[in-house]
C-alpha cells in the first residue's frame, strides 16, 4: 500500500478523487464539520434517525449523492485524539471488508490532523490488512487499497507526511514481529531467528553476529545454556548493531527473550493451551521488529539488540529443579522451577550488555503469568530502577498508543529470592511473581540505567483471534526516537 498526504481543496470532500472516503466525526460535533456536502448528508441522516453522534457508531453509504467517491463511511470518534481517531478508523475499515477499495481517503472532519493522527491511520490500516499465510496458503487474501490518503490543509501537510512515514516504519516492524511470533515452533527455531537477523543486516547494512553453542559456552553463559540443555535445537545468541550516531556515543540496548517454545521443562506446564507457548519468543520478535523500524527511519542514535534464543524442553539431560548453575556474571542460581526460564537466559544477556557501556538497557519478555493477573491484556508491566528511563518509556507508550504501567521494585521483594545453596533462587513465592522476576533481573543490571517490560499480557491474543499483536514495537520505537531527539 502507498500512504500519502492529500491536500484538501476549496471544493471540499465532494470532489475528493478517491473511490472510498472515510469521514471520522466527533461525538460532540453535533453534525457540523464545516464541509457543505458532508453536513448536508449528516443532517439528512440524523433527521431519518440513521445516525447518532455517539462514539463507536458507524454507517456505510453507497454512491452518496453529490460525492465523487462511490463509497462513504461515517465513523464517530469519542474526541479528536489520535487514540479515538484510530479506533474510529478501525471501526470504519470493518465495514469495508471484502469491498473493492482501490483508493481510500480519510478525513478527520472539522479537525486539523497532526502527526499522531497520520501514524494512527497507518497502523489501523496495517492491522486491518494483516494476514498470516506462511503455513496457511488457503487463507482468503483481503482486497487491499493500492493507495491510502489522509486529507489535510496546507498548514498540516508537513506533520501529516512525517506521521505517515513514522507509521509506515513502525508498521513494518510490527509486521515482522507478528510474522515471526505467529510461525509454529518447528519453523521459528533459534536458528530461524538468527537467519532473520542476518536478513535484516543485509537489507539495512547492520552489523549482525549469531553466536552458536560453542561461542556461548566460551562467554561463560551458564544460566542461558542450562535452559538450552534439554532441546535438540541448538541455541543462538544474536547481536545486532545499528549505528546512526558517532561511534563514541553510548548506545541504547534492547534485550529480547527468545524462547521459541516453552514446555516448562521438567516443571512441565499443563497441556491445555501449551500450543500458545510458541509465543514465548515475542520479546525477541518485538526487538527484531524495533530494529526493523529504526533501520528504516534512520534516527541519529546508536542501538544494540541482544537476543538469547533457545527452546525449553524436558529430556534426560534437561536442567532439573534444585540444580545450581553459574551465570556469566559469576553469580550462582538455584533453579527451583525450570518453568521460570526466561529470566535465566535474560540475565546472561544483561551481563553481556555491559561491554557496550550503554546509555540505557531495556529488556522485553513474556516473562510471567503474574503480570497478566495484575494488569490484564491492556498494559504491559514496566519495572525500572531509573526514574528518568521509566518516564521516557511511559511517555513513549502514551504517544505510541502502546500502554504500559509502572510496577514497584522495592528492595523488600528481594527477600523472596534467597537460597540456602546459591547466591539466589530463580523464583520466590507465588505472590508478587512479576515483581520478584524483575528483582531477579535487576541483580544483573547494576552497571547501567535499566528497565524491564513484561509483555506476557499484551504480546499475543488467545481464542478465536489467536495471534501475535506485534507489541511493544510501537512503544520501543518511540522510545528510541525520543532518545535520538534528546541529542
* Positions marked active-site: 269, 343
The closest alpha carbon to 251, from 240, 265, 263, belongs to: 240
Closest CA to 366 of 445, 236, 459, 262: 459
DSSP code of residue 436: H
How many Cβ atoms from other residues are within 10 Å of residue 98's Cβ? 9
Per DSSP, 234 falls in state: P
Cα–Cα distance measured from residue 90 to residue 98, given in angstroms and rounded to the nearest whole number: 15
Contact 327, 444 (CB under 8 A): yes
- Selection from 110, 149, 117 nearest residue 7 by Cα: 149
Closest listed residue to residue 365, CA positions, set 418, 323, 306, 293: 306
Q: How many residues does the chain have?
A: 487
Could you tell me where the DSSP H helices lie in 183-268? 190-204, 213-219, 222-228
E-state strands within 228-279: 236-243, 252-256, 258-262
Q: CA geometry: angle at 201 spanning 129 and 341, to 5°? A: 80
Q: Is 242 exposed, middle or buried (0-12, 13-18, 19+ CB in 10 A)?
A: buried
Q: Give the residue from 35, 21, 111, 9 showing the smallest Cα distance to 75.
A: 21
Q: CA-CA distance, 382 to 364, in Å (whole number)?
A: 10
Amino acid at each position: 500500500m502507498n500512504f500519502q498526504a492529500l491536500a484538501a481543496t476549496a471544493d471540499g470532500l465532494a470532489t475528493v478523487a478517491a473511490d472510498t472516503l472515510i469521514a471520522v466525526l466527533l461525538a460532540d460535533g453535533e453534525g457540523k464539520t464545516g464541509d457543505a456536502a458532508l453536513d448536508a448528508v449528516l443532517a439528512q441522516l440524523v433527521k431519518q434517525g440513521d445516525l447518532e453522534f455517539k462514539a463507536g457508531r458507524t454507517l456505510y453509504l453507497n454512491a452518496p449523492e453529490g460525492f465523487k467517491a462511490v463509497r462513504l463511511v461515517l465513523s464517530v470518534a469519542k474526541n479528536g485524539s489520535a487514540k479515538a481517531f484510530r479506533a474510529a478508523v478501525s471501526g470504519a475499515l470493518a465495514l469495508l471488508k471484502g469491498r473493492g477499495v482501490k483508493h481510500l481517503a480519510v478525513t478527520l472532519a472539522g479537525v486539523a490532523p497532526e502527526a499522531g493522527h497520520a501514524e494512527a491511520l497507518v497502523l489501523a490500516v496495517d492491522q486491518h490488512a494483516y494476514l498470516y499465510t506462511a503455513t496457511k496458503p488457503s487463507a482468503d487474501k483481503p482486497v487491499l487499497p493500492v493507495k491510502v490518503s489522509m486529507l489535510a490543509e496546507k498548514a498540516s501537510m508537513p506533520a501529516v507526511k512525517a506521521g505517515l512515514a513514522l507509521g509506515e516504519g513502525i508498521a513494518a516492524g510490527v509486521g515482522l514481529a507478528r510474522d515471526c511470533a505467529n510461525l509454529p515452533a518447528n519453523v521459528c527455531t533459534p536458528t530461524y531467528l538468527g537467519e532473520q537477523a542476518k536478513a535484516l543486516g543485509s537489507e539495512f547494512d547492520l552489523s549482525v553476529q549469531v553466536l552458536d553453542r560453542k561461542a556461548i559456552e566460551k562467554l561463560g553463559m551458564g544460566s542461558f545454556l542450562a535452559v538450552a540443555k534439554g532441546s535438540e535445537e541448538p541455541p543462538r545468541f544474536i547481536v545486532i548493531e545499528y549505528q546512526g550516531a558517532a561511534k563514541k556515543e553510548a548506545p541504547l540496548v534492547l534485550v529480547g527473550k527468545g524462547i521459541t517454545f516453552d514446555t516448562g521443562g521438567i516443571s512441565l506446564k499443563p497441556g491445555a493451551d501449551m500450543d500458545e507457548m510458541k509465543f514465548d519468543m515475542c520479546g525477541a520478535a518485538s526487538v527484531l521488529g524495533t530494529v526493523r523500524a529504526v533501520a528504516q527511519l534512520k534516527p541519529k542514535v546508536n542501538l544494540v539488540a541482544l537476543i538469547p534464543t533457545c527452546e525449553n524442553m524436558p529430556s534426560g539431560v534437561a536442567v532439573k529443579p534444585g540444580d545450581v548453575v553459574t551465570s556469566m556474571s559469576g553469580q550462582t542460581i538455584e533453579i527451583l522451577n525450570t518453568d521460570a526460564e526466561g529470566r535465566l537466559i535474560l540475565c546472561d544477556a544483561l551481563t553481556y550488555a555491559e561491554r557496550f557501556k550503554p546509555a540505557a538497557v531495556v529488556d522485553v519478555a513474556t516473562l510471567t503469568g503474574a503480570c497478566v493477573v495484575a494488569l490484564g491484556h491492556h498494559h504491559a508491566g514496566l519495572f525500572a530502577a531509573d526514574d528518568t528511563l521509566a518516564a521516557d518509556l511511559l511517555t513513549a507508550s502514551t504517544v505510541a498508543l502502546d500502554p504500559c504501567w509502572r510496577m514497584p521494585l522495592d528492595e523488600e521483594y528481594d527477600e523472596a529470592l534467597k537460597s540456602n545453596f546459591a547466591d539466589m533462587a530463580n523464583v520466590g513465592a507465588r505472590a508478587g511473581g512479576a515483581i520478584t522476576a524483575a528483582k531477579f533481573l535487576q541483580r544483573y543490571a547494576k552497571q547501567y540505567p535499566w528497565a524491564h517490560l513484561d509483555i506476557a499480557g499484551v504480546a499475543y491474543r488467545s481464542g478465536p483471534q489467536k495471534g501475535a499483536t506485534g507489541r511493544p514495537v510501537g512503544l520501543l520505537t518511540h522510545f528510541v526516537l525520543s532518545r535520538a531527539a534528546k541529542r
